[in-house]
């Protein structure tokens, strides 16, 4: 099977390449030196062969944009980049299967439990909107060209040298300034990148839209306890919720330059848990629990 992986130099892309290269013929695409060196937002790729499976993991990752230019980048990279990729296949040859790596950000939720694939897509932020539009683009294109389409909506990804919020948490623990808020009781969905990678060739044969999580959804206290132990750091401090709210209030007054505000406090103290029952029933999705993985592996 010939597989193309876009975003092959990203966190998830590298994991997919590592996990699948033994059993499949892998071609990679990214803006850096790979088989296809392409900036998808700026150009249509020119492929030299057809692929059985395309895994589209390229995109601008979730962050809070500070300027209009940064907001526009989400659209350019995640939406226009996807459109250009698809045009490239129309020129060279259509794949049999297409997997788009999306995000639970499409639901637009800051809190909630058991959020499943049937929930409405209510994202209003630039990142979430770009993922919604890219999903729709992929689904419509696959339907038109009779390509098996899979959308994977992923929460926080865990693995070696993780980016994003988990990477920031690890940095704070390393430097000794991480603390939990209100006892660290808020649960968050997460999943191991390598479990996602191994699952892709299985789900790609059937298609559909799926949330993927580890099924346990650890809270901040559980997660931080494991991480500090793995790094031989002292137990993280706890900031009482009432004090955190006061700090958040002053952050609101300061504005965009404040490292923390009321919105961030709410996110850090609210459950945000997604339901992956569909993948479990349809495919026997049985990933490793993140905490068990972290107990046995350093990241």
Query: Given this model, what pLDDT does residue 63 score?
Result: 82
Exposed (0-12), middle (13-18) or buried (19+): which is 122, by Cβ within 10 Å? exposed
Residue 190's SS3 state is: strand
Exposed (0-12), middle (13-18) or buried (19+): which is 64, by Cβ within 10 Å? exposed
**Taking 90 as the threshold, does the pLDDT of residue 269 lie above it?**
yes
Percent of the chain topping pLDDT 70: 100
pLDDT band at 152 (very low <50, low <70, confident <90, very high): very high
* Phi, psi angles (nearest 5°) of residue 210: -140, 135
Q: Average pLDDT in the 260-288 region? A: 95
Query: Given this model, what pLDDT does residue 219 score?
Result: 97
End-to-end alpha carbon distance in the chain: 31
CA distance 9 to 12: 8
**Taking 80 as the threshold, does the pLDDT of residue 288 lie above it?**
yes
Query: Given this model, what pLDDT does residue 150 score?
Result: 98
What CATH architecture does domain 2-157+190-214+273-288 belong to? Answer: 3-Layer(aba) Sandwich (3.40)
**Taking 90 as the threshold, does the pLDDT of residue 255 lie above it?**
no
DSSP state, residue 81 = H
Q: Average pLDDT in the 262-280 region? A: 94
Query: Given this model, what pLDDT does residue 66 score?
Result: 80
**String of DSSP letters for 252-297:** HHH-TT-S--HHHHHHHTS-EEE--HHHHHHH---PPPHHHHHHH-
**Taking 90 as the threshold, does the pLDDT of residue 142 lie above it?**
yes
Structural domain boundaries in the chain: 2-157+190-214+273-288
Contact 207, 100 (CB under 8 A): no
**Taking 80 as the threshold, does the pLDDT of residue 291 lie above it?**
yes
Query: Given this model, what pLDDT does residue 176 score?
Result: 87
Between 66 and 245, the more confident residue is 245
pTM comes to 0.95
**Taking 80 as the threshold, does the pLDDT of residue 131 lie above it?**
yes
pLDDT tens, 199-254? 999 999 999 999 999 999 999 999 999 999 988 898 888 999 999 999 999 988 88
Phi/psi zone of residue 293: left (φ > 0), alpha (ψ -120 to 50 degrees), beta?
alpha
Mean pLDDT of the chain: 95
pLDDT tens, 5-40? 999 999 999 999 999 999 999 999 999 877 999 999
CA distance 97 to 138: 11
Task: Report in angstroms the alpha-carbon separations of 83 from 4, 5, 44, 73, 111.
Answer: 16, 16, 9, 14, 31
Q: Of 95-104, 232-241, 260-269, which has the strongest mean pLDDT? A: 95-104
Query: Given this model, what pLDDT does residue 299 score?
Result: 85
**Taking 90 as the threshold, does the pLDDT of residue 164 lie above it?**
no
Query: Given this model, what pLDDT does residue 256 score?
Result: 73
Query: Given this model, what pLDDT does residue 267 score?
Result: 87
């Amino acid at each position: 099977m010939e597989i193309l992986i876009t975003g092959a130099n990203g966190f998830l892309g590298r994991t997919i390449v590592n996990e699948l290269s033994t059993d499949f013929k892998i071609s990679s695409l990214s803006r850096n030196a790979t088989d296809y060196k392409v900036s998808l937002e700026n150009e249509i790729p020119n492929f030299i062969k057809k692929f059985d499976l395309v895994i589209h993991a390229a995109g601008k990752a979730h962050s809070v944009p500070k300027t209009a230019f940064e907001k526009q980048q989400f659209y350019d990279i995640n939406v226009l980049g996807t459109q250009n990729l698809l045009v490239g296949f129309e020129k060279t040859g259509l794949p049999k299967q297409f997997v788009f790596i999306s995000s639970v950000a499409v639901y637009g939720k800051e809190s909630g439990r058991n959020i499943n694939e049937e929930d409405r897509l209510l994202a209003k932020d630039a990142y979430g909107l770009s993922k919604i539009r890219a999903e729709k683009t992929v689904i419509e294109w696959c339907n038109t060209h009779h390509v098996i389409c899979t959308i994977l909506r992923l929460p926080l990804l865990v693995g070696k040298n993780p980016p994003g919020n988990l990477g920031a948490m690890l940095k704070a623990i390393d430097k000794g300034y991480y603390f939990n808020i209100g006892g660290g009781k808020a649960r968050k969905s997460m999943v191991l990148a390598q479990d996602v990678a191994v699952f892709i060739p299985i789900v790609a044969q059937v298609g559909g839209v799926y949330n993927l999580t580890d099924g346990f959804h650890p809270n901040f206290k559980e997660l931080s306890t494991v991480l500090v132990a793995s790094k031989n750091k002292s137990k993280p401090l706890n900031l009482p919720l009432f004090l955190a709210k006061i700090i958040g209030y002053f952050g609101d007054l300061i504005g965009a330059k404040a490292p923390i505000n009321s919105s961030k406090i709410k996110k850090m103290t609210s459950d945000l848990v997604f339901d992956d029952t569909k993948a479990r029933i349809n495919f026997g999705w049985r990933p490793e629990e993140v905490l068990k993985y972290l107990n046995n592996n350093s990241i």
